[in-house]
A and B are shown apart, each in its own frame.
Chain A
Amino acid sequence: MFTNLKRILKFGWQGFSRNMGLGSQAIFIITVAVLVITSLIIFNELSNFLISQAREKVDIAVYFKKEVPESEILELKQELSKFSPGIENISYVSRAQAQENFLQRHKEDPLYLRALEEVGENPFLSYLNIKAKSPNFYAQISDFLTSGPFQNMIEKISYYESEKIINRLFSLTNNIKLGGILLSLILGILVVLITFNTVKLTIFAFREEISTMKLVGASNWFVRGPFLVQSLFYGIFAVLIANLVFFGIFNFLNSRIENWILGFSILDYFQENFLMLLVIQIIFAFVLGIFSSLIAVRKYLKV
């Protein structure tokens, strides 16, 4: 058993090292497969990041009429906290604070400052900024505010203004996700089929040898074993090449991507999750290679 295993490993290595021409095609295709699968994982992570970023940016602001005293607003804040467990955070911004915020934001922009001077009095309204744990709660919160005893205090709720944008954003991110899954599926199937065909062609070149091995009395495993070992070598080299390509590309593109997609460092993500990605790549490459070899050899074993 051990001797046979040792021999199968040796034959596998011999087959691999002596047929680099044929093997390099298989390695190339499996490398592409690994690149595609890893890219899909990274793309999925990126779209999750974008979705969570979008979710974080969504909140609603409730603006109060100028005459409403601060104590009533704070009372409403307390009521709201009690009302819904879906609320993550409520912050109160007074009129003075709102003006201060505006001044801070536009301190280098004289046009805005002059406009504010022209108005004379503080034109800003005090407001509550409400952040929910999930976007689904916003409609509920908004209903509570407009239908309850507080409705007379409220000047406007920003939710109504941005509702369409919020909804569009969510449908867009959902569509991106769905599109990603569909794309992954199609690409995945394509990559598997192409790899399978390439491995099949590689093994086709050995069909006469396979038949000879069978005719001298070799068992099926003694014949197919080396081909499986060979496909493991293809997998190892493909994973190695794919990761070198990724490191090269991400190193080169990292700063550009980081600027483009605010705050997502693709290189950091790749380095932090390298072990997980590597395990997925190896399993994927091995399963793909072994599965393809098994099916391709099976045809020629019937001697």
Chain B
Amino acid sequence: MIRFQNVTKIYRSRGNPVVALEDVSFQIQKGEFVSIVGKSGAGKTTLIRLLIQEEQPTQGEIFFKGKSIQKMTERDVQYLRRKIGVIHQDYKLLKGKTVRENVEYVMQVIGAKDKDIQRDVPQILEIVGLGNRQESFPEELSGGEKQRLAIARALCHRPEVIVADEPTGNLDLYNTFDIINLFKKIHSFGQTIILATHNKEVIDGLQKRVITLEKGKVIRDDPEGKFIL
């Protein structure tokens, strides 16, 4: 479903090259639950940004369902992004919209009917524990609430792939396992999930495939791996 082929990404910082990813290659099949682990700066977030074409790789190519993302038209990129629900590390919430409207927006983007939106959005907000904060604005939410809103937004339109970049970074232990259990449940319905984290307990508890990044390189790819750094 997703294939990274010899992908290198080099940023420029004050004229000096900074290698974020170096010759990264791997494949993710439909329905897989893959964790990407690594220290801060290992390249996890860059990987996600490349996948949704927020950034272009310096070298190499990324394929989604056999189609090169780099060769996609603008319209194709729109559809690609609708198929990948991303939980960003910095949440990327719409400040001018309420909690409910943030989730609704994604469904409106894909052209969902009003009655479906009215049915699904309160449900998903209940699931992530924001049922009573529907009319609040993001800046009125705590860090954990913002994170849960970002999760609700990524899940609501049932994308083909869910990509989560540190989705539990701001959650307490109780909420963390709630969210991970939610991911597991969604995965059990056949959903592809990519989880980037450096939370050892989460990874060790999952017992799913783990890709380990270090200084921009894939150093390990275990089918039922553990958090080893």
Contact = CB atoms under 8 A, between A and B. Distances in A.
A218 interface: yes
Interface residues of B, number: 27
Interface stretch (B92-100, B120-128, B216-224): B92-100
A3 interface: yes
Interface string A197-223: 000000000101101111111111010
A15 B96 contact: yes
Interface string B43-81: 000000000101000000000000000000011001111
B108 interface: yes
Q: How extensive is the interface on chain A, given as a class? A: 20 to 34
Contact of B109 (A14, A18, A209, A222): A222
Given A3-B111, A222-B109, A303-B54, A216 B82 contact: yes
Given A216-B82, A216-B105, A217-B79, A14 B96 contact: yes
B94 A209 contact: yes
A266 B54 CA distance: 58
A15 B94 CA distance: 11
B86 interface: yes
A4 B92 CA distance: 23
Given A3-B111, A4-B111, A222-B109, A217 B81 contact: yes
Contact of A216 (B75, B81, B95, B111): B81
Given A18-B96, A19-B96, A215 B86 contact: yes
27 contacts: A3-B111, A3-B113, A3-B114, A7-B108, A14-B101, A15-B96, A19-B96, A206-B96, A211-B92, A212-B93, A213-B94, A213-B109, A215-B52, A215-B54, A215-B81, A215-B86, A216-B105, A216-B106, A216-B153, A217-B106, A217-B110, A218-B78, A218-B105, A218-B109, A219-B78, A220-B74, A222-B109
B74 to A, nearest CB: 8
